Amino acid sequence: MSDNLSKIPQHIAIIMDGNGRWAEARGLPRLEGHKAGTENLRQIIRGCVDAGVKYLTIYAFSTENWARPREEVEGLISILELFLDRELDELCAEGVKICHLGRLEAMPEKVRHKVEHSMEVTCSNSRLILSVAWNYGGRDEIVYAIQSMIKEKVQPQDVTEELVGQYLFTKNMPDPDLIIRTSGEMRISNFLIWQAAYAEWYITPTLWPDFNKEELIKAIISYGQRDRRFGKVSGIDNEG
């Protein structure tokens, strides 16, 4: 690790964008870009473990992605299955705990069982919490939280930010310190819209399959140079 890593974000979230453009630039089908992006995830996970990051959240499939061509959706589902089949043992050995963000019940039964199995197998790990946002949308998450509070008859006067947080898919997880978006797009894309209130953003033109460990370190170094004020005045201790 670089000596410049003086401040490590506890929680990094990544919008893994640019797989399709990466493939098209090489004359390949879009699905090949998604496969390359999944292969790339391995070194980013290791990079986070080596750097001491405790939480890594990846935006893998949004609630809006169901509207993509059927062939691409089915291919993405197959890639998720393959990733879990191939990487689970190694992730478990490295102390990685797998979590899922999103409406798991809406996923195809076969892949849902694989996700549930991966969470069960790694549930005791704590070196890195890897949250996979699959069938996830930030607005849908807030709707889900409201629905759950109504079902449990939570009274209006009892609703606080802390309580809402306990009904989100990310309950018991700290908000992201750093959100990375690859491919240069300048939008949030319905990702962690509640949790990202005071996150630092790092936008890079690098397409996701090319976002390697060195690029990750650049993002962490950039984060370490930020003055996080959380709406307060610079110079006041806002970190704790």
Q: pLDDT band for position 93 (50/70/90)?
A: very high
The region of weakest confidence among 107-111, 178-182, 219-223, 234-238 is 234-238
The reported pLDDT for the residue numbered 240 is: 43
The reported pLDDT for the residue numbered 233 is: 64
Complete domains list, the chain, with CATH: 11-137+175-224 (3.40.1180.10)
Judge whether residue 2 has pLDDT over 60. Answer: no
Q: What is the pLDDT of residues 100-121, one digit of tens each?
A: 999 999 888 999 999 999 999 9
17 has catalytic annotation: yes
**DSSP secondary structure string, 219-230?**
HHHHHHT----T
- Per-residue pLDDT, averaged over 139-144, amounts to 98
Secondary structure letter of residue 68 according to DSSP: S
The reported pLDDT for the residue numbered 40 is: 96
The total of other beta-carbon atoms located within 10 Å of residue 178's CB is: 22
Q: What is the pLDDT of residues 147-194, one digit of tens each?
A: 999 999 999 999 999 999 999 999 999 999 999 999 999 999 999 999
Q: What mean pLDDT is reported for the chain? A: 93
Secondary structure letter of residue 128 according to DSSP: E
65 has catalytic annotation: yes
Task: Kindly name the residue from 4, 19, 65, 135 that is annotated as catalytic.
Answer: 65
The reported pLDDT for the residue numbered 207 is: 98
- Per-residue pLDDT, averaged over 200-217, amounts to 98
Task: Kindly name the residue from 17, 40, 135, 140 that is annotated as catalytic.
Answer: 17
The reported pLDDT for the residue numbered 229 is: 76
User: Which region holds residue 183: left if phi is over 0, alpha if psi is between -120 and 50, else beta?
Assistant: left
Using CA atoms, how far apart are residues 79 and 198, in angstroms rounded to an integer? 32
- Measured torsion, CA atoms of residues 203, 99, 199, 150, in degrees rounded to the nearest 10: 130
Judge whether residue 216 has pLDDT over 90. Answer: yes
Residue at 230: amino acid letter: F
Q: What is the pLDDT of residues 56-74, one digit of tens each?
A: 999 999 999 999 999 999 9
The reported pLDDT for the residue numbered 4 is: 59
Q: pLDDT band for position 235 (50/70/90)?
A: low
The reported pLDDT for the residue numbered 1 is: 47
